[in-house]
Amino acid sequence: MLFQMLWVRGIVFTVLLPAVVGFFLPSAIDPRAQFRGGISDAGWLLVAAGMLTYALCLIRFLAAGGTPAIYFARHLRLLIGEEPAGLVSGGPYRFSRNPMYVGVLLVVFGQAVLFASPLLAAYGGTVFLLFHLMVVFFEEPHLRATRGRSYDLYCREVPRWLGRPRRRSGGQ
């Protein structure tokens, strides 16, 4: 029953945040966007990669006993759940400390390619900037305060956005 409730809260969170940023706002920003076909169809690869990345991350959070709920939205915990008690660091989190954000950005930029839309590309750049600021000024300090040394070690090993994990230093 508890796991089912986590799923419901994870889906509610997904509809309220990533789906709004990744699908609803782009359609409002460029309502006349039309599929271009041809090489623009490559945008589907980005959209699919973004959705898969997000889904894998959501599953990781649910398996860890929480949802991807943003810690400062605790007053909504009955609706969207709470973050897991421990650090989620497996799966896509081995290559990025923020793969959910990367997934949403892939969806947005995929749509910019699909529709050959400069408006959506600019929106994607703006969303990236906002994500980056939120991560640097809110999420990372929160995780350092609540996860301590394990988060510091994780930050040394895994890049903030994308890349190969760094080797552990000091023979660990």
pLDDT of 172 reads 40
Stretch 19-37: mean pLDDT: 93
For 98, residues 6+ apart whose C-beta sits below 8 A from its C-beta are 131, 135, 139, 160, 161
State how far the Cα of 100 lies from the Cα of 171, in Å rounded to an integer: 30
Q: Is residue 120 over pLDDT 80?
A: yes
What is the b/e burial string over 18-53, where b = at least 16 CB atoms within 10 angstroms of the residue's CB?
bbebbbeebeebbeebeeeeeeeeebeebbeebbeb
pLDDT of 3 reads 63
Q: Is residue 25 over pLDDT 90?
A: yes
The pTM (predicted TM-score) of the whole model is 0.90
Q: Is residue 82 over pLDDT 60?
A: yes
Whole-number average pLDDT of the chain: 90
